[in-house]
Structure 1
């Protein structure tokens, strides 16, 4: 294997490892976002009067 082929192989391997790491980090980030969204929805109770009365001034 000559030096150019070795360099290309190493570059490809490193690029593949970086891509896999980025995918794993993105999955963790999205999971965190989903968990945060669920926590926000659970913490917010619906207001008992929202949508029941419409105030209109002319």
Structure 2
């Protein structure tokens, strides 16, 4: 095996390793972003529920509007 083919094989392995590393970092970043979005959604749901309990609709479930 000559020097050129050995260097080429090592370069190919290095490219593969770097590619896997970059992919893993991207997955970690996306997972962290998804976790943050889920937490923000949960916080938003809680504040909406608290607002709904604090100021309920004055006639919700008590009267029915029907027009014929």
The answer to whether the superposition gives a TM-score over 0.5 is: yes
Match of 2:28 in 1: 20
1 or 2, which has the higher helix percentage? 2
Q: CA RMSD in A?
A: 1.4
Equivalent pairs counted in the alignment come to: 58
CA distance in 1, matches of 2:45, 2:28: 26
Matched, 1:51 2:61: yes
Q: Highest CA radius of gyration, 1 or 2?
A: 2
My pick for the range that moved more, 18-27 or 37-46, is: 37-46
CA distance in structure 2 between the partners assigned to 1:55 and 1:36 by the alignment: 31
* Structure 1 unpaired stretches of 5+: none
For 1:9, the equivalent position in structure 2 comes to: 17
Query: TM-score of the superposition, structure 1-length normalised?
Result: 0.85
Tell me the distance in 1 between the aligned counterparts of 2:50 and 2:13. Answer: 55
